[in-house]
Structure 1
Amino acid sequence: MTVDLGRRLVAEALGTAILVATVVGSGIMADRLTDDVAVSLLGNTIPTGAILFVLLSILGPISGAHFNPVVTIVFAVRREFEASAVAPYILAQIVGGVFGTLVAHAMFDLPIFQLSATVRTGSAQWIAESVATFGLLLTILGGLRFKIDAIPALVGFYITAAYWFTASTSFANPAVAIARSVTDTFSGIRPTDLPGFIVAQVFGALIAAALAGWLFAERRNEIPPITVQGAE
């Protein structure tokens, strides 16, 4: 990347903060407007997909718009991202995400510092998080291979869909999961449930990276057999 590391870290922190503020804020708004859980989830889903399109479009050229530790880790494993920037990126994402939660609380006049009491644990939730993160990374890596200009839309649409087809509502992001553990609102997750989610997310991401390395590999031209004139 040609952008200096300081600007990239600010972009990562800012992008993750806005993403989490959208997730938490839209959850609070939806919960206040309706008692129907399905409608609340829809009110949480649409803004999240929309803001991802915006953030990836405007911040992608600066930092790559990871906003997600497992995305950073996968790019580093694939040697498409410098190892020295992995820890700073992840720290910026986590700090930005937590700040986004605090801003959402302030906007809705809620206690700034909270811990979630929402239970999200068990094998079904962990499988769902593995599947959600697997699909997200496969979407990103497939987009990089075949449709790079469409990545903001691809990611936005994927997360919109994954909110509804996964039992966990598709966190798919350790930084977002950590940020959502400090809000006792619609989108929260109990802090003690974080380890299971994070392990599942890392597992799903690494499986996606391994599969994408083979599935999206560039076709290599076959070398024609060598023939010797006059040979029988």
Structure 2
Amino acid sequence: AAYIAEFIGTFGLVFAITMSVVLFVPAPVMQPGVGAYQPFQDFAVVGLVHAFVLFALIQTLAIISGAHFNPAITLGLAAIRQIRIVDAGIYVVMQLAGGTLGALFTKALVTDIGKGVNYGAPGINVARVGTTLGGMGAEAIGTFFLVWAVVGVAVNPAGLKDWSGLAIGATLGFVVMIIGPLTGGSVNPARAFGPAIVSHHFGDAGKWLLLYALSPAVGAVLAAGGYFWLFIQPGKKGAAGMEPVG
């Protein structure tokens, strides 16, 4: 049941995200005599979609799977032994599959207008971040704050569990509003993987892996490990840590 919940949750999250990106983050438009014109990109709306959808999914599915919906979160929790390695691997597979299906649904609904933004696939804005390294930093920092919130309210025994959905959803929303204009604000390999597969738009595969796979992984492990060892004090919980959430 937990694996199915991760598939359904990631599907819903990626579908909502990619639809909002297609509708509110338009691609540049070519105008005769003027050249490329960039219409207004409303990352505030996109961030709010992230926040509310994740909040709803956490409230309905956390009791079943822990509501990861993000390979970076799963990796971070595996690093602090809150989920078994085998379960973590299956979680990631289900998340990638759910993300791909979510992007496919977006493609089916917005075939024409979705092409311009690769059906919601994130992309780096080199004019704003300067280099791939800058984009990697943005994705790592964004994921760090997201996973910090997850561990703080959902893993910490003293965390405010009743507020976990709101706290985690709001964190993701704010992160997307801030770094969305820089890298698309993925902070989730499954969210980046789905539309990239559907649109066949990985760009430079090496840079894609650095930006949307490695950077979130690093940010997640640093956040999970940092919060766990600084504030949860695993020595009081025994050598094996707390019970897995998955």
TM-score range (shorter-chain normalised) is 0.7 to 0.9
Stretch of structure 1 that moved more, 16-25 or 159-168: 159-168
**1:163 touches 1:169 (CA, 8 Å); kept in 2?**
yes
Q: How many residues align?
A: 211
Structure 1 unaligned runs (5+)? 1-6, 222-232
Instruction: State the one-letter code of the partner of 2:216.
Output: Q
Stretch of structure 1 that moved more, 12-21 or 82-91: 82-91
- Shift in CA distance, 23/189, structure 1 to aligned 2, threshold 3 Å: farther
Alignment partner, residue 159 of structure 1: 172
Alignment partner, residue 160 of structure 2: 147
- Shift in CA distance, 194/160, structure 1 to aligned 2, threshold 3 Å: same
The aligned runs of 1:128-143 (5 Å cut-off) are: 128-143=138-153
**1:114 touches 1:182 (CA, 8 Å); kept in 2?**
no
TM-score after normalising by structure 2: 0.76
Aligned equivalents of 1:118, 1:83: Cα separation in 2: 28
The aligned runs of 1:1-232 (5 Å cut-off) are: 7-31=1-25, 36-39=39-42, 41-110=43-112, 116=118, 119-120=123-124, 122-144=132-154, 145=156, 146-166=159-179, 167-182=182-197, 190=203, 192=205, 193-197=207-211, 198-218=213-233
- Shift in CA distance, 103/42, structure 1 to aligned 2, threshold 3 Å: same
Give the RMSD, CA atoms, in angstroms.
3.0
Aligned equivalents of 2:101, 2:234: Cα separation in 1: 44
Aligned equivalents of 2:168, 2:122: Cα separation in 1: 26
Aligned equivalents of 2:88, 2:71: Cα separation in 1: 8
Aligned-pair CA distance for 1:213: 1.9
Alignment partner, residue 225 of structure 1: none
Alignment partner, residue 34 of structure 2: none
Aligned equivalents of 2:221, 2:93: Cα separation in 1: 20
- Shift in CA distance, 50/191, structure 1 to aligned 2, threshold 3 Å: farther
Aligned-pair CA distance for 1:119: 4.5
Percent of pairs identical after alignment? 24
Q: Which has the higher helix share?
A: 2
Answer 1 or 2: higher relative contact order, Cα 8 Å, separation at least 6.
2
Aligned-pair CA distance for 1:156: 1.1
